[in-house]
């Protein structure tokens, strides 16, 4: 049980709630909109032809912005945690944080895919291995894994600062990846004004480039903003940090507006870009309030703190489990004669319950084993270096 004395007072508990809400935005987007409008469905090829929820389109079409929220939180949290870590400790913390969740969730999704029977054996094995080995190039067992490669590149850059004793350069890292990403999206916006021509075609291709994605060109804005928010809210407020926050907040709004337009073009819809932009700005406000009022949140009853902490723990498995496994469950329920609402409720209940089980029981157990193995390996390596 979490209590006032056992919960680290530096832990920003409001971010746990925001992470969970961001994950639910993504779930709502997939279940309420994307499954039924994606011209090239990857979750379940048969589901799109069985049921649909057009009444949810207006309320869920912007849920993809949950990923941008994740990236901002990641920039904030990684800067927060890396400041007091050594290189090996930082590496261990990242492996322990990501590895067990991925290994468990990928295995659960593999079972769902096998039962669904839509994939060939080679395709399943290849996608599974790409997922559990953190290979940043598709295919993956669930397309949600596309974000992990981007996260890992960001972690690696921060790791280089930590291991090189240059963590004080974190603002330079943020400025570098943020400005490169901002420039890219300004070029995309300029190409969109032309509407045709070779430049516009090239920029469209670059928007789909996995290499640029892994170089943080597509999403560096959000990691940079998270770092500058940490610098401003936690370290020391100054003009340079505030300028970084304003610049990358504006650039983030541009990226989200352009992504909204691209989604409309892909799905044949015409929703306003203001909705995801305002949703994202609301999330940024939540980050600021969570940090500024963290001491008040920690004064909440222990049961409430436990609930918020558990919600944050559920975020990662919920994100990894809901899409493909949820789609296959929906398909199976409908084919068994269930109505669309029963299928939707069943997939949502499965995603939440499975995420809770993984977060509360599966991940902690495997994280302990993983951490012990890494620490033993690190101790052996240190001993060999001394002997050598």
pLDDT at 4 over 80: no
- CA-nearest of 95, 93, 26 to 62 is 26
The C-alpha atoms of residue 171 and residue 89 are separated, in whole angstroms, by: 21
Is residue 387 one of the residues assigned to a domain? no
56-74: per-residue pLDDT in tens?
A: 999 999 999 999 999 999 9
pLDDT confidence band for 184 (50 / 70 / 90): very high
Q: Tell me if 7 sits within 8 A of 305, measured CB to CB.
A: yes
Is residue 308 one of the residues assigned to a domain? yes
- CA-nearest of 164, 139, 136, 163 to 151 is 136
Is residue 8 one of the residues assigned to a domain? no
Angstrom CA distances, 339 to 4, 50, 327, 332, 342, stand at 46, 10, 14, 11, 5
Is residue 330 one of the residues assigned to a domain? yes
Domain that holds residue 62: 15-380
**pTM, two decimal places:** 0.95
Is residue 10 one of the residues assigned to a domain? no
Number of structural domains found in the chain = 1
Is residue 133 one of the residues assigned to a domain? yes
108-122: per-residue pLDDT in tens?
A: 999 999 998 888 999
246-267: per-residue pLDDT in tens?
A: 999 999 999 999 999 999 999 9
Is residue 385 one of the residues assigned to a domain? no
Q: What is the pLDDT of residue 197?
A: 80
* pLDDT, average across residues 164-177: 96
The C-alpha atoms of residue 132 and residue 127 are separated, in whole angstroms, by: 9
Could you write out the DSSP letters of every residue in 199-244? HHHHHHHHHT-HHHHHTTTTTHHHHHHHHHHHIIIII---HHHHHH
Is residue 49 one of the residues assigned to a domain? yes
Q: What is the pLDDT of residue 2?
A: 46
The C-alpha atoms of residue 77 and residue 94 are separated, in whole angstroms, by: 12
């Amino acid at each position: 049980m979490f209590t006032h004395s056992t919960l680290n007072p530096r832990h920003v508990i409001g971010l746990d709630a925001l992470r969970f809400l961001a994950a639910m935005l993504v779930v709502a987007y997939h279940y309420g909109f994307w499954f039924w409008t994606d011209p090239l469905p990857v979750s379940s090829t048969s589901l799109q032809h069985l049921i649909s929820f057009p009444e949810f389109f207006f309320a869920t079409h912007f849920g993809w912005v949950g990923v941008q929220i994740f990236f901002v939180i990641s920039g904030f949290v990684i800067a927060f945690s890396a400041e007091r870590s050594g290189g090996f400790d930082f590496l261990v913390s990242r492996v322990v944080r990501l590895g067990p969740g991925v290994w468990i969730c990928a295995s659960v999704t593999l079972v769902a895919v096998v039962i669904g029977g839509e994939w060939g054996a080679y395709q399943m094995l290849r996608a599974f291995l790409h997922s559990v080995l953190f290979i940043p190039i598709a295919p993956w067992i669930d397309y949600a894994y596309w974000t992990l490669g981007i996260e890992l590149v960001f972690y690696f850059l921060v790791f280089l600062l930590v291991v090189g004793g240059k963590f004080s350069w974190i603002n330079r890292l943020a400025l570098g990846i943020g400005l490169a990403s901002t420039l890219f999206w300004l070029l995309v916006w300029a190409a969109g004004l032309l509407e045709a021509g070779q430049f516009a075609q090239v920029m469209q291709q670059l928007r789909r480039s996995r290499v640029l994605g892994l170089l943080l060109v597509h999403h560096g804005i959000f990691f940079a903003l998270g770092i500058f928010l940490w610098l401003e809210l936690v370290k020391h407020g100054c003009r340079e940090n505030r300028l970084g926050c304003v610049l990358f907040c504006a650039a983030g709004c541009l990226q989200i507006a352009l992504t909204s337009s691209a989604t409309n073009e892909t799905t044949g819809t015409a929703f306003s870009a203001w909705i995801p932009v305002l949703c994202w700005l609301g999330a940024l406000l939540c980050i600021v309030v969570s940090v500024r009022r963290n001491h008040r949140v920690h004064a909440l009853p222990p049961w409430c703190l436990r609930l918020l902490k558990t919600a944050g723990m559920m975020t990662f498995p919920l994100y990894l489990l809901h899409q493909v496994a949820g789609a296959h469950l929906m398909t199976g329920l409908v084919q068994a004669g269930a109505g669309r609402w029963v299928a939707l409720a069943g997939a949502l209940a499965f995603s939440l319950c499975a995420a809770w089980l993984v977060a509360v029981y599966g991940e902690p157990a495997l994280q302990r084993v993983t951490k012990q193995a890494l620490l033993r390996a690190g101790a052996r390596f240190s001993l060999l270096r001394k002997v050598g």
